[in-house]
């Protein structure tokens, strides 16, 4: 019984410390009394946690606030550059690594193109060791967050399936022991959703995040928590069927949404129309207002995205749907047509029922989310 009580006390203490740290991070300068009043914690609880945060160097005492009639209150200042985290984003043909401070500002980044997918663990360790040596963060390094494509069993550290990388059931557990700091990992969509949720300060709103890259992934946040499902496969929306007689998908099914609304799908649509003079997303979308054939293709592509979104609305009924991934830089060309197709002839939803927006963090959402896993779990 005493052991159980000790466990619960540790959980409560850790939760209180997280709440206090998050509030200080948000307010930048704050007093103990303000923390106590905002969070509903006793001054004794606040003081003991503040003492520990100061000892670890996350905050410092910094001057005094305005007097309210008595002695001026000591101000506590948040120190964003007191610690750093590393984020790694693994893609089909490259790995991107960043060093970020506690505000998730990117201090340094590097892209590695020499991936060896036949030995993902060894390759990942090599990349991260090289970057760690280069940035030389020393004991200021809090930990490492890794954003992975495909389905991830977080508890067992297994990349269960990454069809676009040709990987199945890759055991990544050795990564947790390789660097002398905590290592957190999750799939790219979950990382992105977590990053967006934190930066947009959405409070209790249920969210669905759609990641549009070489494939399509998704993530669900309900009651401030990522929902992974019983088998860690919640959000694998790229493989919902939108055309029963459609194209073959890499997953083995036909007519998956990913075959019609991923970046690769757009590239195939353009290639089939013979518009080979356009290469790269920047060129493709810059032609939207100049080339009628390209405009027609992009509008059709936006409609393909909307078909999946209509299905998601009927299943999950979220407050907000965020579209991220590689296409998030092209909101002006895509979003009006996506919304038009989602809400026209829709007896269940009008535009005021749900926000459909593009990512705030743009292409950084996944890697920033991975960094936030480190910061929020230390």
Q: Is the pLDDT of residue 33 over 60?
A: yes
Q: What is the pLDDT of residue 70?
A: 62
Q: What is the pLDDT of residue 135?
A: 92
Question: Residue 323, Cα to own-chain centre: how many angstroms?
Answer: 12
pLDDT band with cut points at 50, 70 and 90 for residue 223: confident
In this prediction, residues 317-339 reach a mean pLDDT of 92
Contact 213, 206 (CB under 8 A): no
Domain ranges in the chain with CATH number 1.10.10.10: 2-78
Side by side, the strands of the sheet bearing 151-153 are 151-153, 158-162, 167-171
In this prediction, residues 366-376 reach a mean pLDDT of 91
Question: Residue 130, Cα to own-chain centre: how many angstroms?
Answer: 24
Assign domain 84-194+366-377 one CATH number from 3.40.190.10, 3.40.640.10, 3.30.420.40, 3.40.50.1580. Answer: 3.30.420.40
Q: Is the pLDDT of residue 166 over 90?
A: no
Q: How far apart are CA 240 and CA 304, in angstroms?
A: 13
Q: What is the pLDDT of residue 137?
A: 87
Q: What is the pLDDT of residue 71?
A: 73
Of 84, 87, 81, 85, nearest to 364 by C-alpha is 87
Axis crossing angle, helix 263-272 with helix 292-316, rounded to the nearest 10:
150
CATH number of 200-362: 3.30.420.40
pLDDT band with cut points at 50, 70 and 90 for residue 3: low
pLDDT band with cut points at 50, 70 and 90 for residue 238: confident
In this prediction, residues 18-42 reach a mean pLDDT of 89
- In this structure, whether the domain defined by 2-78 belongs to CATH 1.10.10.10 is answered with yes
Domain ranges in the chain with CATH number 3.30.420.40: 84-194+366-377, 200-362
Q: What is the pLDDT of residue 300?
A: 95
């Amino acid at each position: 019984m005493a052991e159980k009580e000790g466990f619960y006390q540790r959980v409560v203490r850790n939760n209180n410390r997280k709440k206090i740290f998050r509030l200080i991070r948000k307010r930048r300068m704050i007093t103990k009394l303000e923390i106590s009043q905002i969070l509903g914690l006793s001054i004794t609880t606040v003081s003991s946690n503040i003492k520990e945060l100061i000892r670890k160097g996350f905050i410092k005492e910094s001057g005094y606030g305005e007097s309210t009639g008595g002695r001026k209150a000591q101000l506590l200042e948040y120190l964003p550059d007191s610690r750093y985290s590393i984020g790694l984003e693994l893609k089909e043909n490259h790995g991107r690594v960043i060093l970020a401070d506690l505000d998730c500002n990117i201090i340094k980044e590097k892209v590695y193109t020499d991936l060896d997918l036949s030995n993902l663990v060894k390759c990942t360790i090599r990349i991260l060791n090289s970057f760690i040596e280069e940035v030389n963060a020393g004991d200021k390094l809090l930990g490492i967050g890794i954003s992975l494509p495909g389905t991830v069993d977080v508890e067992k550290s297994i990349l269960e399936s990454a069809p676009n990388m040709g990987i199945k059931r890759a055991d990544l557990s050795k990564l947790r022991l390789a660097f002398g700091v905590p290592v957190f990992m999750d799939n790219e969509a979950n990382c992105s959703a977590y990053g967006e949720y934190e930066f947009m300060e959405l409070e209790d709103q249920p969210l669905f995040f759609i990641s549009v890259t070489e494939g399509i992934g998704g993530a669900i946040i309900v009651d401030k928590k990522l929902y992974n499902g019983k088998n860690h496969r919640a959000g694998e929306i790229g493989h919902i069927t939108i055309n029963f007689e459609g194209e073959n998908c890499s997953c083995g099914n036909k007519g998956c949404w990913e075959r019609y609304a991923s970046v690769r799908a757009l590239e195939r649509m353009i290639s089939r129309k013979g518009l080979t003079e356009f290469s790269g997303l920047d060129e493709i979308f810059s032609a939207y207002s100049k080339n009628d054939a390209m405009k027609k293709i992009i509008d059709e592509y936006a409609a393909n995205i909307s078909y999946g979104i209509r299905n998601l609305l009927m299943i999950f009924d979220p407050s907000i749907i965020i579209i991220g991934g590689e296409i998030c830089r092209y909101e002006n060309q895509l979003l009006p047509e996506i919304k038009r197709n989602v809400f026209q002839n829709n007896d269940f939803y009008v535009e005021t029922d749900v926000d459909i927006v593009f990512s705030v963090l743009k292409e950084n959402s996944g890697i920033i989310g991975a960094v936030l896993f480190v910061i929020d779990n230390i």
